[in-house]
Amino acid sequence: AAKLAGGTEQTVRFCVEQRRPHEPIDACKISTEKAAQLIADFVRENKIDILNVAGPRQSEWPAGYDYTTGALEIFLAKL
């Protein structure tokens, strides 16, 4: 798994401390299609009403917005 840093690391730490469900997705290893399926499974299995998406700043990972938007669009299209 990729090393978490900054706000992403803080978000995961918060989830662990608060016993909140979380699903880190390594965009370097997982396609947007597979990420969308992981999101769908996570939302269904944990009965998620509000989904928080965290990741590196655009200045740290310029392709992150497109990856995340792509995965979420695929996920939402399957609802």
In tens, the pLDDT along 49-77 reads: 999 998 888 898 899 999 999 999 999 99
Average pLDDT (30-39) is 98
Would you give the distance in Å from CA 28 to the centre of its chain? 13
Q: What is the pLDDT of residue 50?
A: 95
Residues 6+ apart with CB under 8 A from 78: 36, 40
Question: Closest Cα to residue 26, out of 12, 46, 16?
Answer: 12
* pTM as predicted: 0.87
E strands in the chain:
none
Query: If pLDDT is split at 50, 70 and 90, which confidence band does 4 have?
Result: confident
Q: What are the structure tokens assigned to 44, written together?
A: 């269904």
Query: For 6-77, CATH number?
Result: 3.40.50.450
* Percent over 90 (pLDDT), the chain: 75
Question: Residue 12: phi, psi to the nearest 5?
Answer: -65, -45
